Amino acid sequence: MVKLRYINLLICLCLLPLCAKSSVLYRTAELKRLYETLQVHTDSIHEGLNTISIGNRLVNIRIDDGMVSFIGYMLFSEEMKAMAHSPILDFLERYFLQLDYPQADRSPNKMLREDRVKFEIGSPKLVATLNADCAFSYSCEHNRYVATWSREGQPILSVSFPANHELISGENKIESEQFVETDIRVSQLGPLKPVNKDLLTSTLQKNYFIKPGSTYLNKHLTSDLYYQQIDSVFSLICNESHPLESAANMMLSSDNPLSFNLKIKQIMYGYKKKFFDIPLRNWIAYCQNNGCELYFGAESLDQEMIKASVIAVNNAEKYNHVLFVIIPLKAISQGSGDIEAQLETFIPMQNVTNLFAKYKKNNNK
């Protein structure tokens, strides 16, 4: 009996790596293909950042909550990525790996042609020669990025590519949309920042101030914030006597300590719908952490509610998220409550005006 238990234990131990491999989750189908193509030994992979050797190259694999979220060559330090706070560095690491391990029906030349990626200086073979001695820089003009590596002041490799979300993220619209709820839930804001009085502009109302922002699409969509001064303390306005200013502050600022909840109806590809509730602060954190600038525009105000639009603009990847919200005046007066919201995500910038036209047409009906 003891011998039989020993044999069963050995069988279980032998099967553990297989069980682990079968339980691996992937954020995208392409990450799954790369992971399997590289023949990664799953039993040696752990949560967080993993660095493995493939041939004579180092490859990074990132695991977030048990899911493979990134695979790419190790070209940049994690410190450099944190300082850059840009998706471009991850993209370059992943895309250069994809060029060396392309899909069966998509040669490297076909990839470059279809993705409109161009080596302005050098060739893909030079990627393997990049090291810590190389200076790196990138810029964006006319919706195209140019990334350049230099040695002793001379460019040795330069590649250009479109400012396009699907290309840079490595996710198609369906893949990006399905993770929106999860990504919002795990997004966290940092501590509240002190008010910089030098950025405030006085108004005709005594002790009331505006922090001027910018506009988007038209003068009614702005990132302006509104403050009041009580004694020597400046704080964001949130009261029923200033409903529109309060609504703007609620939807735009991460420094609002009040508690509101979004009841979201997400409109997804193929007119699918998804419903979920989320703290408003998590939504703002999600937008800010992903490099989006928020704009607010009121559409109507009556005795019970405000209807408004909120746009999260991502200039790095040229997409917008759009929220159409209904804010009860009661929530403003209480400093807490539910806000109904319709959300559409990852809309190419050139399509956002069409979305507004469609929404207003349906509203009129």
> Whose CA is closest to 127, among 30, 31, 59?
59
236 within 8 A of 253, measured Cβ to Cβ: yes
pLDDT at 357 over 70: no
pTM greater than 0.85 (yes/no): yes
Range from 18-27, 54-63, 80-89, 140-149 carrying the lowest mean pLDDT = 18-27
Closest CA to 63 of 55, 52, 53, 54: 52
**Dist. CA 126–CA 112, nearest whole Å:** 16
Kindly give the residue spans of alpha helices, DSSP state H, lying in the chain: 2-22, 29-37, 78-84, 87-100, 108-115, 165-169, 173-178, 180-185, 243-252, 280-289, 329-334, 352-364
- pLDDT tens for 278-325 read 999 999 999 999 999 999 999 999 999 999 999 999 999 999 999 999
| Rounded average pLDDT over 212-232 | 93
Task: Please say if the pLDDT value at position 365 is more than 90.
Answer: no
**How far is Cα 292 from Cα 315, in angstroms, rounded to an integer?**
7
Farthest CA pair distance, the chain: 89
CA dihedral 347, 84, 295, 203 (to 10 degrees): -170
Strand order, beta sheet including 144-151: 118-121, 154-162, 144-151, 135-141
What's the pLDDT tens digit per position in 319-330? 999 999 999 999
Confidence of residue 266 (pLDDT cuts 50, 70, 90): very high
DSSP state of 169: H
pLDDT average, residue stretch 132-146: 93
Q: Which amino acid is at 45?
A: I
Coil vs helix vs strand at 331 = helix
Which pLDDT tens digit goes with each residue over 167-207?
Answer: 999 999 999 999 999 999 999 987 878 888 899 999 999 99
Kindly tell me if the per-residue pLDDT of 109 is higher than 70.
yes
Report the alpha-carbon distance of residue 194 to residue 234 in Å, rounded: 9
